[in-house]
Structure 1
């Protein structure tokens, strides 16, 4: 039975934390509520403590989005339990394990106690929060539904995080396989092949051409490996600097969208993020044009960002959302169709939520298809390279036997 770590607030307002074994998370939540506690956070396992310790020791350069999501969920729970905002923030400060989060929450509490709204206090934190966060909180404060807005924000950020993690987890094995392939080739050329040079020293042109080429490459790797490493590091540095140029970044991002399979996956990821964010903002009362402007800043791909800028201009001219999105040619046709149906039926928000759910599943399926193709290709490629090297060495030995 899995073990869950939890944080909760007792009926007396004290923070408690501990561990509990249960079949799933919901059972832990129910048990805590049955004991008169308000659950703040329930997570499976104890690995999170190690990551928290690592972040406290080495730092992250800011507050991680995962920590923002957890704090949002905890604040929503405390406000729903009836705690005033300032007291809820104090509780969050007391239970915060990450130094950067604790300091950020302390600054927010200080501003709130000074008379600022929660939205303004969050806005002063700059890039620690997503660009749409403060606007959603402001709408919740104005409408008296702050805890509901915070729950929706937490749900949204958890879905986006889960989407990102699912893709990242799927790419781990191919990345390891690629690294092993490169390392194997370097070891074969730099360490293994040069060991055979003394055996073939007197062969000269009698050696097979492939063997001679590989021996030359092996000598070059042994003698000039540092130059190769320097060239690679310089190329990476120049590429990262080039990405800061908006024109180059636009061309690069546009090219990525055109890659077979991988480009399709990128489109689906950005479509899911677009739909999730638009649905949340429209539900929070944001006008369509303002919501689109916020979504434009959330999208990672600059080609899509430029397309959304053009769509915003068309909206200002009184056009709908679906037609300019279709004309930009970067969004999937299914997404365009569902958005058009939502506009025509006056159910755009509901249709965007449906669209987000569809593309969450599409991303998972596209990731599986890409991995199903990529992993065998990498495995076969590595096998072919090793086989060619072995054949070249065997060919050299056969040539030696023939000369004898």
Structure 2
């Protein structure tokens, strides 16, 4: 069998995220090599040729819909092979139907569902595979699949909320750029010619600055547009995941948006850890799997520290409290849960607190940025209008 190149992301025994590219015969073999090296795979993807990047031949499999449908059938008492057969026969999409047929054949040949899913391309992430494996071991596969679907849906909801919070400011910023471009290309040159035709000898300083700026602005906007286009092409043809991480780290340090991204990481950390612990996955492995879902360098360093200390038999709450990035209230709740032996249940309540804080921060961001950009837009238009009206006032006073 010919070998393919696979990009992978994994978490080592110290909780640190590792990335690389390996050549092997299949995705499952890469996953087995990572496990043998003491790493927990987060995702493994086959490298695609350039033509597939430009013209993707297939779309991603809908893991949330798959998990929810299969959970419903299993909880209704239908055997897994028959459930997969029903799902594949009723699937309208040819790509999804092919994936389900491959999955059914793997399970029919004796593979566990988690092992069969690892052979699909694209395969689900490590969180989904680990949850399914835990469900197979505990005999609660239907319930675990329902929790996976809920988790994936929640993740999608919060991604949309963050994007929605940024979409309105981005729209207003685009409106500012378009207004400035229209003024510099059509409106201001018309007034400049008008003042020259009536013989205005010396324009006010503000008017001269506005006219000079209007001459340079189209070139500046064109340069910025070219830079953005080149950046998008670089992201498209390179490791876009790395660029996305750098962009999110940059946004995470922004004054207003940074708090939103930090709370999002806290929600994801507590929610993932709660789901994994509830599914029966040991704390050490759950922490390492949770690290694979985060991108913030501070949160990754915190989880790496947690992994090292938990392996030594220490509790998490003192480390979280001393980290400076984890809220003290959440750390105290986790400390109480560690003493009572109910960490999985307490992480659920910690998630609710962080989720409420995130929603409040998103609403506050929307209330703040919208009026701020509106004021900036009105101020720019006012300055331009004032600069244009000053020579008119001077000219009218001279005529009188």
TM range (shorter): 0.7 to 0.9
Aligned to 1:358: 353
Give the secondary structure class of the aligned counterpart of 1:132: helix
Distance in 1 between residues matched to 2:208 and 2:348, nearest whole Å: 62
1:195 maps to which of 190, 206, 211: 190
1:327 maps to which of 299, 317, 322: 322
1:311 maps to which of 303, 306, 318: 306
* TM-score (normalised: structure 1): 0.76
Give the secondary structure class of the aligned counterpart of 2:125: coil
* CA deviation map 1:340-385 (0-9, x unaligned): 1211221111100111122222211111111111111011111101
Q: Are residues 1:271 and 2:271 paired? A: no
Greater mean deviation of Cα atoms: 386-395 or 170-179 = 170-179
**Preserved contact between residue 299 and residue 305 of structure 1 (Cα < 8 Å):** yes
Report the count of equivalent residues: 343
**Preserved contact between residue 74 and residue 83 of structure 2 (Cα < 8 Å):** yes
1:87 maps to which of 68, 82, 90: 82
Deviation at 1:60, TM superposition (A): 8.3
Deviation at 1:287, TM superposition (A): 0.8
Aligned to 1:125: 120
Distance in 1 between residues matched to 2:378 and 2:347, nearest whole Å: 46
1:207 maps to which of 203, 206, 209: 203
Q: Are residues 1:230 and 2:230 paired? A: no
* 1:103–1:374 distance in 2 versus 1, CA, 3 Å: same
Aligned to 1:32: none
**Preserved contact between residue 165 and residue 365 of structure 2 (Cα < 8 Å):** no
- Computed over aligned residues only, the root mean square deviation of the Cα atoms, in angstroms, reads 2.9
* TM-score (normalised: structure 2): 0.77
Greater mean deviation of Cα atoms: 228-237 or 297-306 = 228-237
Distance in 2 between residues matched to 1:333 and 1:97, nearest whole Å: 50
Aligned to 1:31: none
1:63 maps to which of 46, 60, 63: 60
* CA deviation map 1:36-72 (0-9, x unaligned): xxxxxxxxxxxxxxxxxxxxxx8685415xx211111
Deviation at 1:113, TM superposition (A): 2.0
* CA deviation map 1:117-139 (0-9, x unaligned): 11101122365413111121112
Distance in 2 between residues matched to 1:260 and 1:294, nearest whole Å: 30
Deviation at 1:238, TM superposition (A): 7.4
Q: Are residues 1:165 and 2:178 paired? A: no
Aligned to 2:368: 373
Aligned to 2:342: 347
Deviation at 1:95, TM superposition (A): 3.0
**Preserved contact between residue 269 and residue 363 of structure 1 (Cα < 8 Å):** yes
Distance in 2 between residues matched to 1:242 and 1:114, nearest whole Å: 36
**Preserved contact between residue 131 and residue 279 of structure 2 (Cα < 8 Å):** yes
* 1:60–1:133 distance in 2 versus 1, CA, 3 Å: farther
Give the secondary structure class of the aligned counterpart of 1:279: helix
Q: Which has the higher contact order (CA 8 A, sep 6+)?
A: 2
